[in-house]
Amino acid sequence: MIDRVVVARIVRDDGVELLADGKDWLLTAINGADAPVYELFTEDNATDDGVTVTGKHVKSRDLQLDATSLAVAQNPVFRAQAKSFFNPKHTYKVYLTYMGTTHWLSAELTAHKVPNQKVNIPQTWSAYFLAANPYWQSVDDFGQDIAAITPRWGFPYMDHPTYGVLVDVANFTRSVIFEYDGDVPAYPTIILTADDAVTNPKIIKDNAYVRLIDELVKGDTVTITTNPRSIRITKNGVNVLNKTDRGSKFTALQMTPGTNTVRYEADYGDNNLHVVLRYNKQYLGV
C-alpha cells in the first residue's frame, strides 16, 4: 500500500521549525525535489562528427515548497508564524517525506511569499531555496564501530561444559562491510579513539589508506574528515595533517554505491583502537 503522507519539516539554524504535515499547514506543491540539474561540457571534434564530452557535474538545486493553512479562523496566527519564520539572515535544513521516504538537505532561502489576500480564505506561503550541495541525505548517519564487541548473552541460558559461556564476540578481522545504497559517493568522518598505546594507526579501503605517523595514548581521539571540500585530520582537536603518511588519500575512503570494505591496522596496539565511521547516504532525489 502506498504511503500517502507528504510532509515538509523546515528547521532554521536557531532551532525554530515550521511543519507542513496536514495539521496546521498542508503542503500543496513541491518543485525541484525529484532530480537535480546536470551540466555537460563538450568540445566540437575537429576531424569527425559529433562532440567530445570533456566534463560533467551536478549543479546546485533550486527547491520550491508551497503550503496552505487548514483553519481560516487561525489565519492571523499562521500568517505571523510564516512571516517571522522565513528570514534570509538564517540558513535552513529541509526535511521532506514523500511516499514513506525521508531525506534532508541544507539550503539557503532565496525568496519567500506570504501573500496578502482575502482574510476569509486560507493563508498560504511559498518558500524558495538554493541547495549548494544538491544531494538529499539520509536522516541516519550510520555510525558503526569497526572494532565493536557484539554481545552474545541470550535466552535460554546456555553453559557448555567444555567451552564455557559465550558472552561476546570481538571483531578480530579489524574490518567491516558496508552495503551502500546511495546514488552517489558519501565521504565519511572517521573517529579513532585509543584505549591504550597505539603507534601509527591506519584506515584502509580497497587500495587506498590514510595513515597517521604518531603515537596515541589512552584517551586520545583522532578525527579524519574525508570530504574533498574540507579534508582534515585532528588529534584531540589539534590539526595534525603534517603527520600523515605521504601516500594517504583522504577522498579515496569514500563510500561508493554497492559493497564497501573498510579496515584498520597499526604498527602497534591496533587492539587498543575503536574506529567509528559516520556518513549520510547521498541521493539524487526524493
Domain ranges of the chain: 6-134, 144-283
The reply to whether 144-283 shares the fold of 6-134 is: no
From 259, 213, 204, 268, select the one nearest 235 (Cα to Cα): 213
Q: What is the pLDDT along the chain (286 residues), one digit of tens a residue?
A: 777 889 999 999 999 999 999 999 999 999 999 999 999 999 999 888 999 999 999 999 999 999 999 999 999 999 999 999 999 999 999 999 999 999 999 999 999 999 998 888 999 999 999 999 999 999 988 777 777 643 333 434 444 444 344 333 344 457 888 889 999 999 999 999 999 999 999 999 988 999 999 999 999 999 999 999 899 999 999 999 999 999 999 999 999 999 999 999 999 999 999 999 999 999 999 9
| CATH T-level topology, domain 6-134 | Elongation Factor Tu (Ef-tu); domain 3 (2.40.30)
Q: How far out from the chain centre does Cα 239 lie?
A: 23
| CATH T-level topology, domain 144-283 | Jelly Rolls (2.60.120)
Cβ 130 vs Cβ 106: under 8 Å: no
